[in-house]
Structure 1
Amino acid sequence: MSELQMRVSDEDRERTAQQLQQAFSEGRLTQPELEDRLEVALSARTYGDLLGLITDLPSTQPQVDDVVELGSKNGNVKRAGDWAVPRRLRIASKYGSVDLDFTEAVVPHQVVDVELDLTYGSARIILPEGAVANVDGFQSDWGQPTSKVPSRPRPGVLCVVITGRAKYGGLTVRYPRRRWFTH
């Protein structure tokens, strides 16, 4: 499934509506054009529907937390503890592994896209209990991605969509390990 076919959220629709209203206030759209486009924006189902409404308008700067790109040639990429998760995370690693722990992270978005480009490393993604992950868009030349969490999106639950590829590595998605203490 291409990104243009992915379903949009209410937040995505609202952001597009704000962009259209801004274009109207700058004189780029007439009142009838604004009304027509807002009607389509508020009923849009996919990113392709929304994109068609704004392609002829100057692009606005993405919000700081919209896309974050991380990379490493030789070291590992690791995020754990209290970290801010962007809407889209792009990670490229040539010889290192990727370790993303979402269990204590601040995640303001219900859907987070993680794009991995791995050459000689693997990725491990740990999600909070109840979260879901879709790994259908991830390809590995050696082996299959392993996901031990549900993949079906549910309302109000974090959904991580993982795409990309690994040449000589793999992908594991799981919940945190349970710790059993005996006294």
Structure 2
Amino acid sequence: MTSLPEGSPSLIGEGARDTAVQRLQEAYSEGLLSHEELDERLDRVLTAKAHSELESALASIPELPDQLPDTTSTITAAGGRIKRRGTWRVPRVLKVASAYGRVRLDLSRAIIEHPVVDIELHLGTGGARITVPRDAVVDVQGLRTDWKDLRYKARQPSRPGGPEIRISGVMGFGRLRIRHARR
């Protein structure tokens, strides 16, 4: 293995490379880079030998949008129904907690301003149904179900650019059904 001279100002260290990789991953998670752009830029960062190569891979990454605040809303109910449908503004993070009762979230006509929306469920008994936009990508890896399995059939988005809906949390004695809107 050939070692490079340490005194050269144009050479980069692993710390700078790690920081660049983290910036790319954050830009991707915020929806500012496509999957293909991320792959191409990560390759450039991981093979860069000089700061100028590293900077060129990061140069055109847009700053995180200031006009979209990182909002969090919480909906709680001891029992009964929690229902959101029609035209409503979806926050960046939506926390839903219910001891018992049903939860219905319809995002098909909702105003979704964030490329990634996190829905955190903490439900005791009772089921939940979430309708997502037709072009949404759904991630349920952070969800734990204790009693019944999740009912969701992943599908390819009809067109790219839809929001990513990440669902996490705990479902007790109820079933979560997720479906894509038909229109």
The 5 A counterparts of 1:39-50 are none
Match of 2:142 in 1: 137
More strand by share: 2
Counterpart pick for 2:79 among 74, 77, 81: 74
Contact 1:99 1:124 in 2 (8 A): yes
Instruction: Give the Cα–Cα distance (whole angstroms) in 2 for the partners of residues 13 and 119 of structure 1.
Output: 33
Give the alignment's TM-score, normalised by structure 2: 0.60
Aligned amino acid, residue 162 of structure 1: I
Kindly tell me: are residues 13 and 128 of structure 1, through their superposed partners in 2, closer, same or farther at Cα, counting changes over 3 Å?
closer
Contact 1:127 1:174 in 2 (8 A): yes
Instruction: Give the Cα–Cα distance (whole angstroms) in 2 for the partners of residues 150 and 13 of structure 1.
Output: 19
| 1:146 counterpart SS class | coil
Structure 1 residue 85: Cα displacement: 0.3
Contact 1:133 1:151 in 2 (8 A): no
Structure 1 residue 9: Cα displacement: 3.3
Contact 2:30 2:115 in 1 (8 A): no
Give the alignment's TM-score, normalised by structure 1: 0.60
The 5 A counterparts of 1:93-132 are 93-132=98-137
Aligned amino acid, residue 129 of structure 2: R
Structure 1 stretches lacking a partner, 5+ long: 15-38, 44-61, 179-183
Match of 2:167 in 1: 162
Match of 1:85 in 2: 90
Match of 2:27 in 1: 9
Structure 2 stretches lacking a partner, 5+ long: 1-21, 33-54, 60-67
Kindly tell me: are residues 143 and 151 of structure 1, through their superposed partners in 2, closer, same or farther at Cα, counting changes over 3 Å?
farther
> Which contiguous aligned blocks of 4+ residues in structure 1 show a shift greater than 4 angstroms?
10-14
Contact 2:141 2:167 in 1 (8 A): yes
Match of 2:39 in 1: none
